[in-house]
Chains A and B, each alone.
Chain A
């Protein structure tokens, strides 16, 4: 069965430091991987995706993510965190022929000034 794990409920980072939000997945076929961000009282906003090709994908607001097939991971990264990056981050996976996204539990990212 498809699944997504985000092992950290919360990540705390000082402003200006690099950040990483972890995600691992399990699918039987080729995965399509996505990161979304949710600000308070807002919907889910698309950040970036991996479909095929380069393992490092770049997205909105300076975020990037690295696809690692052997470790079945898709960690979200940013070289220098901003206070405004504080939000809830969700990793999601879709297996090729399916329509639905399978979601991780979310990681709360807190950036301290």
Chain B
């Protein structure tokens, strides 16, 4: 069964450093998403991406964040200058369509900012 994959599984970085989190969505999916979950808190939407552009973003997704689909398979989330409060589990997801389509999630990348 096709799966969303994410690398790395755990990333430790120092405050102020740039990080890139990588995701490979399911191959025939057209919509891509990033969510995060700070320890002990709700899952929060960051951004959705369709047709090579951002379709929706939350207030969390400020200028520090960017997304890219550099080739036909990868979908990346870049945080330019990490802050302590960026420490969280970051989930990538993809779906065939928007609307009522379920989103399929990767296993997550745990980002620890020290």
Question: How large, as a class, is the contact surface on chain A?
Answer: 20 to 34
* Contacts between chains A and B (CB distance < 8 A), count: 55
Contacts of A90 in B (CB 8 A): 43
B side interface size, CB within 8 A: 26
Verify B107–A99 contact, CB threshold 8 A.
no
Contact with B along A27-41 (1 / 0, CB 8 A): 000001010100001
Verify B102–A102 contact, CB threshold 8 A.
no
Q: How far apart are the CA atoms of A52 and B42 in the complex, in Å? A: 26
Verify A102–B105 contact, CB threshold 8 A.
no
Contact with A along B60-103 (1 / 0, CB 8 A): 00000000000000000000000000000001010000111011
Q: How far apart are the CA atoms of A38 and B93 in the complex, in Å? A: 14
Verify B56–A99 contact, CB threshold 8 A.
yes
CB-nearest residue of chain A relative to B49? A99
Instruction: Point out the residue from B55, B91, B104 that lies within 8 Å of A99, measured CB to CB.
Output: B55
Instruction: Point out the residue from B43, B58, B107, B108 that lies within 8 Å of A103, measured CB to CB.
Output: B43
Contacts of A46 in B (CB 8 A): 102-105
Q: How far apart are the CA atoms of A46 and B42 in the complex, in Å? A: 17
Verify B98–A43 contact, CB threshold 8 A.
no
Q: How far apart are the CA atoms of A32 and B107 in the complex, in Å? A: 23
Verify B43–A44 contact, CB threshold 8 A.
yes
Verify B100–A51 contact, CB threshold 8 A.
yes
Q: How far apart are the CA atoms of A51 and B35 in the complex, in Å? A: 22
Whether B106 is near chain A, meaning CB under 8 Å from some CB there, is yes
Give B residues with C-beta under 8 Å from A: 4, 31, 33, 35, 41-45, 48, 50, 55-56, 58, 91, 93, 98-100, 102-108
Q: Write 15 A-B pairs (CB below 8 A) sorted by A numbering.
A: A34-B102, A36-B105, A43-B106, A43-B108, A44-B93, A46-B104, A49-B102, A51-B100, A52-B100, A99-B98, A100-B33, A100-B56, A103-B43, A105-B41, A106-B42
